Amino acid sequence: EIVAAVEAFFAGTDRPLAGRRALVTSGPTYEPIDPVRYIANRSSGKQGHAIAAALARLGAHVTLVSGPTREPTPPGVTLVPIETAVEMLAACRAALPADVAVCAAAVADWRVAEAAGQKVKKTGGAPPTLSLIENPDILATLSAAGPDRPRLVVGFAAETENVVAHATEKRRRKGCDWILANDVAPETGTFGGDANTIHLIDAAGVEHWPTSTKLAVAERLARRIDAYFGEGKA
Amino acid sequence: EIVAAVEAFFAGTDRPLAGRRALVTSGPTYEPIDPVRYIANRSSGKQGHAIAAALARLGAHVTLVSGPTREPTPPGVTLVPIETAVEMLAACRAALPADVAVCAAAVADWRVAEAAGQKVKKTGGAPPTLSLIENPDILATLSAAGPDRPRLVVGFAAETENVVAHATEKRRRKGCDWILANDVAPETGTFGGDANTIHLIDAAGVEHWPTSTKLAVAERLARRIDAYFGEGKA
């Protein structure tokens, strides 16, 4: 009975993204300071993993490039585990061409200029100063014109203030097609939590989604991606 | 049958640490840079949680002060979850008096001098420089003479080179009784892995333990702590 249900599911007609290739990034990146210490972003990977799962359920061939998370790899999704932003960019490039890229990872903007090969010792003197250098911008790189640009590039903007204004500016700066903006101020409980309030920003303006679970956000996004390709086919 | 076995276990005679209070620290600390970013140490919490479990099995009343980990709280252990080193120290002080303290957490040596209240934005200019200040030294604080000093204070030294020399010096500097030193160079797989090679350093010298699982290291340490109190009782 279960086998039959699974077979029916995978053979089902509701797989409109069959034949489409999707690239999804998820989780944090870890940027090493030395072999023991690192800088990270708070990201549970729940939203990115849920998007990968939703796209796979609609039939897409999904590559999920993810930093360290507690989330299980969704069924039918190919996981490429990475730690740093530099590794994530290389894995994303290797996953191209793709029809759609969804950048849900919380990529560290900066890494330590020179990670130490040995553990940095407390010397009793002044604490070290960490010199940071900018990481590659994965969303902007994927959005840059070129033969390999996915037809639809979707980014996230985690903001703590002026959410829509910051995200609208981010969309313009990055060159992506859609930005899903959310408010991650500590009092919202978005980080590590299950709920998310999304504002979708595209060329046409802003669409406010009702607060819902990260699973429902993923499902809605996957359906909207499907609709986008459906319109394009017409 | 299971109930009987559980009752026999808890009523069993092999609970030589019954009546003893133990404080165990475990996991990493997260030191915020801003609401989104943090500095952390690599620590799975496996060793610290295993030690808490082993001490509880021998009958001790165990308080486990731990940073974020994936490890389940061992049965019979009181968990105090924390994020930062400052929070860990406060929780440790609150758990005193204790007969034994085992500091297995990978506490960040430094924190950011002034964590930002809002997300630090990429401005297109130079990356920010992080000014660090020293965190409280939890092992040294617990080891400092005073009426509340646990009779036995045990520290860990995670080293990537000159393991025994660094750890011997650390024992002297911190004022603790025992140091369990291990080699965490990336090629050893100690971080996140299940195996550990321990060198126990006390006033008498160095004892090299065979490479074994973190569970076996915890069991051996708990037995040695019991022996220490046994000798003291004689």
What average pLDDT score do residues B158-178 get? 92
Residue A189 has pLDDT above 80, yes or no: no
CB contact under 8 A, B37 and A39: yes
Q: What pLDDT is stored for residue B52 in this prediction? A: 98
CB contact under 8 A, B36 and A160: yes
Residues of A forming the active site: 41
pLDDT tens track for A147-181: 899 999 999 998 878 899 999 999 999 999 999 99
Strand order from edge to edge, sheet including B100-103: B78-81, B61-66, B21-26, B100-103, B152-159, B178-183, B198-202, B205-208
CA distance B97 to chain A (A): 29
Q: Does A173 touch chain B (CB under 8 A)?
A: no
Comparison of pLDDT for A95 and A115, the residue scoring more? A95
Q: Does B161 touch chain A (CB under 8 A)?
A: yes
A7 pLDDT band (50/70/90 cuts)? low
Burial of B6: CB neighbours in 10 Å, binned 0-12, 13-18, 19+:
exposed
pLDDT tens track for B101-128: 999 999 998 898 877 777 777 666 667 7
pLDDT tens track for A204-222: 999 999 999 999 999 999 9
> Structural domain boundaries of chain B?
15-118+129-233
Q: What is the C-alpha separation between B144 and B86, in angstroms, rounded? A: 17
The phi and psi torsions of A40 (rounded to 5 degrees) equal -140, 165
What average pLDDT score do residues A33-46 get? 89
CB contact under 8 A, B36 and A134: no
* A-B contacts (CB, under 8 Å): 90
CB contact under 8 A, A36 and B122: no
Residue B170 has pLDDT above 60, yes or no: yes
Q: What pLDDT is stored for residue A234 in this prediction? A: 39
Architecture of domain B15-118+129-233: 3-Layer(aba) Sandwich (3.40)
Q: Does A70 touch chain B (CB under 8 A)?
A: yes
CA distance A110 to chain B (A): 7
Burial of A224: CB neighbours in 10 Å, binned 0-12, 13-18, 19+:
middle
Residue B98 has pLDDT above 90, yes or no: yes
Q: Are B69 and B49 spatial neighbours (Cβ–Cβ below 8 Å)?
A: yes
What average pLDDT score do residues B131-141 get? 93
Q: Are A107 and A45 spatial neighbours (Cβ–Cβ below 8 Å)?
A: no
Q: Does A130 touch chain B (CB under 8 A)?
A: yes
Percent of chain B with pLDDT over 70: 87
B234 pLDDT band (50/70/90 cuts)? very low
Residues of chain B in contact with residue A122, where contact means CB-CB under 8 angstroms, are: 109, 134
CB contact under 8 A, A38 and B39: yes
Kindly compute the dihedral angle of the four CA atoms of residues A175, A176, A178, A181, in this order, to the nearest 10 degrees: -80
Q: What is the C-alpha separation between B88 and B82, in angstroms, rounded? A: 6
Lowest mean pLDDT across A91-95, A171-175, B40-44? B40-44
What average pLDDT score do residues B202-214 get? 93
Residues of chain B in contact with residue A174, where contact means CB-CB under 8 angstroms, are: none
All residues at 6 or more sequence positions from A97 whose CB lies less than 8 Å from its CB, including other chains? A21, A148, A150
pLDDT tens track for A115-135: 777 777 766 666 777 888 999
**Mean pLDDT (chain A, rounded):** 88
User: Which ipTM was obtained for this model?
Assistant: 0.76
Class of domain A13-119+127-233 as given by CATH: alpha beta
Neighbours of A15 (CB within 10 A): 17
Of B36, B38, B110, the CB nearest to A158: B36
